[in-house]
Amino acid sequence: MLIRIDDIKEGGTVLDVTESAEEFPALAEMIASGDLAFAAPIHVRLKIFRVREVVEVEGGIETTMRFVCGACLAEFDASMASSFAVTFVRELPQVFDESGEEVQLSADEMGMIPFQGDEIDLREAVAEQVVISQPIRPLCREACKGLCPQCGADRNESDCGCVRPVMNSKFAALKDFRVDEKKK
């Protein structure tokens, strides 16, 4: 997914590509380690604009990923879509505070990605969007009941009959406490 800077048209360039997740080095490494799994290729739609030495990329990605449910441990596939915008610059702009003093900010702090040469490789930016779009705790369905903590049965399939433990709360002694309104 290399884009030549000189190939970006005045009104912008559209890039519409479908590639295997293994084509993205960062994702290929995560797939090999077992951290990610894909059930479909990654579809990328981008609109690329250039203003002098600044390249703006906005668009979206779509794919189907394979997850393990965080509650019942069942494998499931889920569609994932994400929109994003990134800015590539040859040189970071100078930033001044209100007193006119120059402030040193990193590319990350400015939300920009530095590049050199005549091409920009968009694979790293796309891979980053895939990774940050993953759910923190994937669930096979919103109402997943999970596994029984006593016997390990999947409570989505059937009720195992285990008696749920009563939580010992420090405040259990106060459950019958009543305030006498008359003594006020």
Highest mean pLDDT among 5-14, 122-131, 162-171: 122-131
Mean pLDDT of the chain: 86
**Structure confidence at residue 141 (pLDDT):** 93
Q: Where does the pLDDT of residue 82 fall: very low under 50, low under 70, confident under 90, or very high at 90 and above?
A: very high
SS3 content of the chain, % helix, strand, coil (to 5): 20, 35, 45
137, 144 Cβ separation under 8 angstroms: no
Q: Where does the pLDDT of residue 169 fall: very low under 50, low under 70, confident under 90, or very high at 90 and above?
A: confident
Q: Taking 60 as the threshold, does the pLDDT of residue 184 lie above it?
A: no
Q: Per this entry, what is the length of the chain? A: 184
Question: pLDDT tens for residues 64-74?
Answer: 999 999 999 99
Burial 79-106 (b: 16+ CB within 10 A, else e): ebeeebebebbeeeeeeeeeeeeeeeee
Domain locations along the chain: 2-132
126, 136 Cβ separation under 8 angstroms: no
